[in-house]
């Protein structure tokens, strides 16, 4: 049992090594079990999708990467989790009992969980104590405004502070321990952030243990236990480029009882971790001597590869932390096992024949001897090198258009290249999704130049129509009830199914609403609440529905009278007849339900009542099928979590 570190400059080689070790572990050894569910820790769902494809692909590389290679094209029974999920699962076992993974969503045991912390802070921010000096003056000034949204601002502030404290728990546990003992620095006491330690002490005094305290308790108790959390047999960590020291201690502790494999991408097989430190040391010496860096030879400030030093900071710090914690090992968390994976690095560095190859070669060798610049200049002088291109585009749409053209050119230049060989990265993928769908879906799927694609790492709120519609319902008190907003809701399959409306029915109702001049607003009182009292009821839902029902009730009489005030000041709309009245009734019922829900959520209520109301709303407005059932279940689970978090914070 050990903590293994596998490094390579090629992530595909790391995936192949993991595949081999995984297959070998399932077939042989003391813990061999083909029905055991492997636990793989990743840092994003995009990495999960990519890694699953790599593990299932029947492939191998030159070099003795593993004695076991997957040749079936199938990989199953793998549980992908985030680092925080595995940590929380391990902390469930502080009672030394065996727990199931499903209990993570069933139990709220951590009073310092970020969501619970937000509710607790919301409670504390209400009656802020008077202090001398008044350290909470800034918080009060933010929450108390003339717009009357004090409670909303209070909750927003509570969530922001909870996020900050959650990061402190992970990255600054020593500072929080000092705050608990009132040992904050004098500088902090007289700064604008003097309220932070006081709030933290209020939280700590109310009970519970922060995450750093629970991890310390786990590490201490874990040494004496005879089983791994949840009967884990091994853990695989892949594609994680950084990790807080507390988390690393946790995984090293697991390595005392089970095999823990960390697969880390390292750009160079050479030792380069101290290159940046050497430069910092020289600069510090210059500052101490009150000398300008310009007085020093430029070569003296260059140690290692400049690109590697600039962009490899996360990996450098993480590798340094691993080596520092694991050097020699210790009784509490164990050392580092050397798997001797020299074959994982490419047998030869990338060739410098292209601009990209020259840069990769310099990074691989961690060198800055001038050869890299010469290779780059030689590649540029050829005039036909396209290995590294920069495109300056005036909009996101133009970016995606250029991207598609470049991909088509790249595929056409080599028939062995496939779409699955390409990964495209963006700073915020949600900003690009509409443009990607518009550009890449211009061609039919069976067209020769169609490029198949998938979009990963999207949030549930952006990817799920059910979640988006549910969030839209929560915004009803602030909406104008535009006709387009209402029919956008009816355009969601789960809502249309709940209203027993087909796509053709929604289209017909939308045409009736347009022809009846329904534009926005429920009625005159609603418009008055929005400061549009002078507009009255014209072109509102109430006026439009009166016209539609009046036309159906009057029938032929409405058709014969073309005046604008044929019946009690209402101009009947006479296109609704026969069985179509059922559709009109369904629309009127839907509008009435929306108005009722809007009125109910306009008043404050306890968290348990909120959960009950929102659950009833979910049942009323959403009926799932095979494609939407999981999304509806996710919303219901989130509502249950909200109640559990509020209950843990004693606000239910």
Output the domain CATH number for residue 247. Answer: 3.40.50.10930
Distance CA 367, CA 372 (A): 8
Write down the pLDDT at residue 66. Answer: 45
Asked if residue 629 and residue 609 are part of one domain, the reply reads yes
Q: Could you tell me if residue 306 is inside a domain? A: no
Asked if residue 490 and residue 627 are part of one domain, the reply reads yes
Output the domain CATH number for residue 131. Answer: 1.10.10.160
Q: Could you tell me if residue 196 is inside a domain? A: yes
**Which residue range is the domain that position 189 belongs to?**
111-208
Q: Minimal CA–CA distance to 641: which of 91, 156, 115?
A: 115
> Between the CA of residue 602 and those of 159, 599, 616, 648, what are the distances in Å?
21, 5, 16, 25
Q: Could you tell me if residue 371 is inside a domain? A: no
Q: Which of 136-145, 153-162, 263-272, 322-331 has the lowest mean pLDDT?
A: 322-331
Write down the pLDDT at residue 439. Answer: 92
Write down the pLDDT at residue 73. Answer: 61
pLDDT at 29 over 60: yes
Q: Could you tell me if residue 277 is inside a domain? A: no
Asked if residue 467 and residue 569 are part of one domain, the reply reads yes
Write down the pLDDT at residue 652. Answer: 54
Distance CA 308, CA 140 (A): 46
pLDDT at 298 over 60: no
- The pLDDT-based confidence of 76 (bands split at 50, 70, 90) is confident
Asked if residue 514 and residue 430 are part of one domain, the reply reads no
Q: Could you tell me if residue 41 is inside a domain? A: yes
- The pLDDT-based confidence of 624 (bands split at 50, 70, 90) is confident
H/E element holding 425? none
Distance CA 538, CA 569 (A): 12
pLDDT at 560 over 60: no
**Beta partners for residue 265, in sequence order:** 8
Q: Over the chain, what is the mean pLDDT? A: 80
Asked if residue 554 and residue 486 are part of one domain, the reply reads yes
Q: Could you tell me if residue 588 is inside a domain? A: yes
Mean of the pLDDT values across residues 97-121? Answer: 74
Share of the chain above pLDDT 90, in %: 20
Write down the pLDDT at residue 363. Answer: 84
Asked if residue 223 and residue 323 are part of one domain, the reply reads yes
- The pLDDT-based confidence of 273 (bands split at 50, 70, 90) is confident
Q: What is the pLDDT of residues 600-619, one digit of tens each?
A: 988 888 888 888 899 999 99
Write down the pLDDT at residue 50. Answer: 86
Angle in degrees, CA 333, 334, 336, rounded to 5: 130
**Beta partners for residue 41, in sequence order:** 81, 237
**Which two structure tokens, joined as six digits, stand for 172?**
């600054």
Write down the pLDDT at residue 224. Answer: 66
Mean of the pLDDT values across residues 503-512? Answer: 91
Asked if residue 511 and residue 625 are part of one domain, the reply reads yes
Mean of the pLDDT values across residues 186-192? Answer: 83
pLDDT at 563 over 60: no
Q: Could you tell me if residue 508 is inside a domain? A: yes
Asked if residue 557 and residue 532 are part of one domain, the reply reads yes
Asked if residue 153 and residue 184 are part of one domain, the reply reads yes
Q: Which has more pLDDT, 72 or 86?
A: 86
Q: Which has more pLDDT, 380 or 345?
A: 380
Q: Which of 204-213, 359-368, 369-378 has the lowest mean pLDDT?
A: 369-378
Check if the beta carbon of residue 476 is closer than 8 Å to that of residue 598: yes
Asked if residue 431 and residue 476 are part of one domain, the reply reads no
Structural domains counted in the chain: 4
**Boundary residue ending a domain (208, 225, 255):** 208
Write down the pLDDT at residue 531. Answer: 84
pLDDT at 419 over 80: yes
Q: Which has more pLDDT, 561 or 491?
A: 491
Asked if residue 137 and residue 87 are part of one domain, the reply reads no
Output the domain CATH number for residue 549. Answer: 1.10.486.10
Mean of the pLDDT values across residues 263-284? Answer: 68
Q: Could you tell me if residue 295 is inside a domain? A: no
Mean of the pLDDT values across residues 224-244? Answer: 78
Write down the pLDDT at residue 62. Answer: 43
Distance CA 459, CA 429 (A): 10
Mean of the pLDDT values across residues 43-70? Answer: 68
**Boundary residue ending a domain (418, 442, 458):** 458
Cα dihedral 17/20/21/24 (nearest 10): -170
- The pLDDT-based confidence of 566 (bands split at 50, 70, 90) is low
Asked if residue 204 and residue 129 are part of one domain, the reply reads yes
Write down the pLDDT at residue 357. Answer: 83
- The pLDDT-based confidence of 344 (bands split at 50, 70, 90) is low
**Boundary residue ending a domain (208, 234, 259):** 208
**The model scores a pTM over 0.85:** no
Write down the pLDDT at residue 353. Answer: 78
Mean of the pLDDT values across residues 262-269? Answer: 87
């Amino acid at each position: 049992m050990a903590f293994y570190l596998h490094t390579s400059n090629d992530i595909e080689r790391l995936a192949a090594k993991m595949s081999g070790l995984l297959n070998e572990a399932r077939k042989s050894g003391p813990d061999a079990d083909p029905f055991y569910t492997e636990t793989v820790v990743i840092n994003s769902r995009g990495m999960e999708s990519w890694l699953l494809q790599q593990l299932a692909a029947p492939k191998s590389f030159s070099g003795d990467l593993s004695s076991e290679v997957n040749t079936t094209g199938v990989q199953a029974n793998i549980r992908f989790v985030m680092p925080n999920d595995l940590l929380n699962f391990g902390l469930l076992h502080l009672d030394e009992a065996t727990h199931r993974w499903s209990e993570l969503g069933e139990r709220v045991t951590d009073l310092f969980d970020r969501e619970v912390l937000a509710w607790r802070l919301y409670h504390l921010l209400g009656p802020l104590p008077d202090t001398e000096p008044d350290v909470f003056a800034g918080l009060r000034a933010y929450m108390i405004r003339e717009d009357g949204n004090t409670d909303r601002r209070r909750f927003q502030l509570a969530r922001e502070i909870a996020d900050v404290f959650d990061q402190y728990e992970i990255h600054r546990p020593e500072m929080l321990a000092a705050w608990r003992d009132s040992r904050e620095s004098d500088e902090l006491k007289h700064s604008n952030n003097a309220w932070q330690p006081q709030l933290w002490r209020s939280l700590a005094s109310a009970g519970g243990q922060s995450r750093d305290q629970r991890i310390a308790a786990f590490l201490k108790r874990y040494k004496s236990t005879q089983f791994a959390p949840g009967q884990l047999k091994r853990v695989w960590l892949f594609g994680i480029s950084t990790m807080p020291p507390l988390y690393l201690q946790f995984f090293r502790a697991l390595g005392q009882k089970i095999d823990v494999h960390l697969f880390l991408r390292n750009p160079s097989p050479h030792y380069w971790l101290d290159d940046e430190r050497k430069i910092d040391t020289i600069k510090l010496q210059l500052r101490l001597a009150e000398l300008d860096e310009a007085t020093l030879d430029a070569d003296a400030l260059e140690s290692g590869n400049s690109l590697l030093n600039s962009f490899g900071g996360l990996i450098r710090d993480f590798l340094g932390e691993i080596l520092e914690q694991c050097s020699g090992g210790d009784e509490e968390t164990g050392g580092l096992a050397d798997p001797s994976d020299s074959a994982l690095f490419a047998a030869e560095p990338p060739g410098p024949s292209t601009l990209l190859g020259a840069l990769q070669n310099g990074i691989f060798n961690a060198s800055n001897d001038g050869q890299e610049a010469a290779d780059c200049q030689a590649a540029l002088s050829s005039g036909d090198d396209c290995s590294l291109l920069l495109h300056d585009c005036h909009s996101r749409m133009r970016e995606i258009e250029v991207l598609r053209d470049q991909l088509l050119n790249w595929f056409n230049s080599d028939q062995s290249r496939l779409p699955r060989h390409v990964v495209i990265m963006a700073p915020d993928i949600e900003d690009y999704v509409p443009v990607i769908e518009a550009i890449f879906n211009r061609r039919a799927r069976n067209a020769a130049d169609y490029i198949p694609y998938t979009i990963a790492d999207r949030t549930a709120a952006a990817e799920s129509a059910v979640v988006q519609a549910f969030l839209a319902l929560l915004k009803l008190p602030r909406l104008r009830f535009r006709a387009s907003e209402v029919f956008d809701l009816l355009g969601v399959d789960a809502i249309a199914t709940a209203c027993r409306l087909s796509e053709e029915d929604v289209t017909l109702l939308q045409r009736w609403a347009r022809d009846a001049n329904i534009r926005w607003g429920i009625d005159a009182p609603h418009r008055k609440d929005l400061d549009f009292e002078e507009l009255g009821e014209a072109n509102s839902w109430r006026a439009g529905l009166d016209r539609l029902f009046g036309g159906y009730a009057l029938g032929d009489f409405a058709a014969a009278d073309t005046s604008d005030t044929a019946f009690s000041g209402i101009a009947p709309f006479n296109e609704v007849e026969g069985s179509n009245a059922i559709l009109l009734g369904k629309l009127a019922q839907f509008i009435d339900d929306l108005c009722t829900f809007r009125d109910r959520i306009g008043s404050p209520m306890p968290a348990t009542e909120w959960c009950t109301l929102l659950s009833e709303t979910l049942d009323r407005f959403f009926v799932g099928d095979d494609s939407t059932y999981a999304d509806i279940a996710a919303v219901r689970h989130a509502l249950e979590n909200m109640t559990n978090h509020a209950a843990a914070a004693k606000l239910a």
